[in-house]
Structure 1
Amino acid sequence: MAHQHHHSDTGMDWAAMAQHLESQAELYAPWYERALAWLGREVTEPGLVVDVGSGPGVVTGLFAETFPGARVIAADGSEALLERATERAKRLGYADRFAVLAGELPGSLAELDYPADLIWAGRSLHHLGDQRAAVAACADRLAPGGTLALMEGGLPTRFLPRDLGFGRPGLEARLDARSADWFARMRADLPDSVAEAEHWPALLASAGLGHTRTRSFLLDLPAPVSDRARRYVAEMFTRMRDGVGADLDADDRATLDRLLDPEDPASVHRRADLHVLAAHTVHTAVKPAA
């Protein structure tokens, strides 16, 4: 399950996904905290941080916590998600240094009043047709010496053992393959889609940025997981069944149904070996000083 987006078509109703996006980001908070701690050592006292494709603002809030002297901007094309980000900023006490930037990305970045010292794009650029142009647009809005950080790539998330004790072993690997097919369709159907080798350090360099760095970070929530993690995994498998279930054979569909049956002791709702293991990758580069 490499990309974590599972819909019956390649369109996305981001407002409808708000609760899922929020729950996922909160569950993955330990991963983000490790990545932001690393960024905190790479970036010195940024004055302005922009979260590109911020969604409901969970990660924007973590940036506000990591850099207490910085202004933070949540940039997204969904007004509904930005409303949640604003509510979150008020609730957590950083509204006085928080703002939103609404509009289609990356074009809306041109509306920034000041260049940013740090721009973060967490799995948002792959939703834009021309990823090279998106990287260039982000780089253009950096202040001299500013850092662009992209979270893209990593390894498929794992929730279950290879052999569940029923069905054919290797279900998650087969779901990964269906997810990859979905992702390819999603990319091909984007407006102005451009095929691009996802060599992110090279794309960063092509935008005139230097000092490229790459680090991967692990999220390891071992069994037994929390009730929140269990609910999240159940939602993920529900989305997979609804999104790619038709592409699976009858045995795998039956296995998914059993995994999602709350009354079944072997379901994700009840099994003792459920876990969350994920590795995500961050790529950074720096705009040359003037």
Structure 2
Amino acid sequence: MHTNDHEHGQHGHGQHGHDVGQAELLDLDAEVLAELNGDIVDRLPAPPDVRRLIDLGAGTGAGTFALLARFPDAEVVAVDSSAEHLDRLAGNARARGVADRVRTVRADLDAAWPDLGAPDLVWASSSLHHLADPDRTLRRVYDLLAPGGLFAVVELAGFPRFLPDDAPADRPGLEARCHAISDRYHAEHVPLRGADWGPPLSAAGFVLDATRTVTVDSGRSGSAAVGRFAWASLQRMRASVADALDVADLAALDRLLDPTGPDSIARRADLAVRTQRSAWAARRR
């Protein structure tokens, strides 16, 4: 099981440019949504002297680095099933000068867990909905935490949107139709995406401290990072929607994804990032 990924198909479509790997997409997500991640971490009801942190399904480190910024004396154990993600995370840690505060552990959260120590805070972002037995994972986290320790769960409500509703000009509403197909696909293959984690956390013994949903709408942006994020995200989404898309819609999507074409999404100055993240802060009794 690969955790903390964008679940719009496992393979990018290689017709236009290079395939988009999960690690690359996660790095773009972290760059574009750094303020969102920082805001969620900053609002966690945790004391500033937290020292021992675990990031479950760490991906390439968006949560890890936000946690390290919030808790300057802390060390993070970053856990993921993907060696590629962890290698990228370790490289990012070296580049940020915090490698001495990060330990990477490769583990499948659905299998037996290695010794992760006794954390003060456990963070799980966009990872629980991938698990075969999330209730077991919640109980494992409860047992790991010291009394009074905090478990922070963050989940995406859906895939980010980028295009205006009337775009592209020849196929207005294309992105909404892609999302409708993607939502049906994920309702079947990733049914826990968008779930309310409050009741399962309570059932595992946690006391809910806080719940919030954060909505992001960046407004129109000419940012190169937003353009790369939009291109990479839509290219990856194509894998799960192509077979169900109208032929004309698929052709329009491919024109958007052609990096050298006149209709390339990379040339648009009207992109925006619109997304939601929900967060739960739960405490061990």
Task: Give TM-score scaled by structure 1 length.
Answer: 0.85
Asked if 1:101 corresponds to 2:98, the answer is no
Of 118, 123, 129, which aligns to 1:120?
A: 123
Report the 3-state secondary structure (helix = DSSP H, G, I; strand = E; otherwise coil) of the residue aligned with 2:167. coil
* Count of residue pairs the alignment pairs up: 272
> Pairwise mapping of residues 46-57 of structure 1 onto structure 2 (< 5 A)?
46-57=50-61
Asked if 1:136 corresponds to 2:139, the answer is yes
Q: Is the 8 A contact 1:143 1:287 kept in 2?
A: yes
Asked if 1:208 corresponds to 2:205, the answer is yes
In structure 2, the partner of 1:73 is 77
Asked if 1:162 corresponds to 2:165, the answer is yes
The structure with the largest strand share of the pair is 1
> Pairwise mapping of residues 220-239 of structure 1 onto structure 2 (< 5 A)?
220-239=217-236
In structure 2, the partner of 1:269 is 266
Task: Give TM-score scaled by structure 2 length.
Answer: 0.86
Q: How far apart, CA to CA, are the structure 2 residues paired with 1:157 and 1:264? A: 23
What amino acid is the match of 2:185?
Answer: W
Q: What whole-Å deviation, never above 9, does each CA across 1:8-57 have from its counterpart, x for those lacking one?
A: 68xxxxx9422222122222111101111111xx1012121111000122
Deviation, structure 1 residue 267: 3.4
In structure 2, the partner of 1:245 is 242
Q: How far apart, CA to CA, are the structure 2 residues paired with 1:284 and 1:180? A: 27
Q: How far apart, CA to CA, are the structure 2 residues paired with 1:196 and 1:252? A: 26
Contiguous gaps of at least 5 residues in structure 1: 10-14, 189-194
Q: How far apart, CA to CA, are the structure 2 residues paired with 1:181 and 1:145? A: 39
Moved more, 219-228 or 50-59: 219-228
Q: How far apart, CA to CA, are the structure 2 residues paired with 1:89 and 1:58? A: 11
Judging changes above 3 Å, is the alpha-carbon distance between structure 1 residues 120 and 109 closer, same or farther for their aligned structure 2 residues? farther
In structure 1, the partner of 2:30 is 25
Contiguous gaps of at least 5 residues in structure 2: 12-19
What amino acid is the match of 1:95?
Answer: A
Judging changes above 3 Å, is the alpha-carbon distance between structure 1 residues 220 and 63 closer, same or farther for their aligned structure 2 residues? same
> Pairwise mapping of residues 143-154 of structure 1 onto structure 2 (< 5 A)?
143-154=146-157
Q: How far apart, CA to CA, are the structure 2 residues paired with 1:240 and 1:156? A: 9
Deviation, structure 1 residue 168: 4.1
In structure 2, the partner of 1:82 is 86
Q: CA RMSD in A?
A: 2.4
Q: How far apart, CA to CA, are the structure 2 residues paired with 1:32 and 1:179? A: 24
What amino acid is the match of 2:115?
Answer: E
Report the 3-state secondary structure (helix = DSSP H, G, I; strand = E; otherwise coil) of the residue aligned with 1:158. coil
Q: Is the 8 A contact 1:218 1:278 kept in 2?
A: yes
Identity of matched residues, %:
35
Q: How far apart, CA to CA, are the structure 2 residues paired with 1:84 and 1:164? A: 35
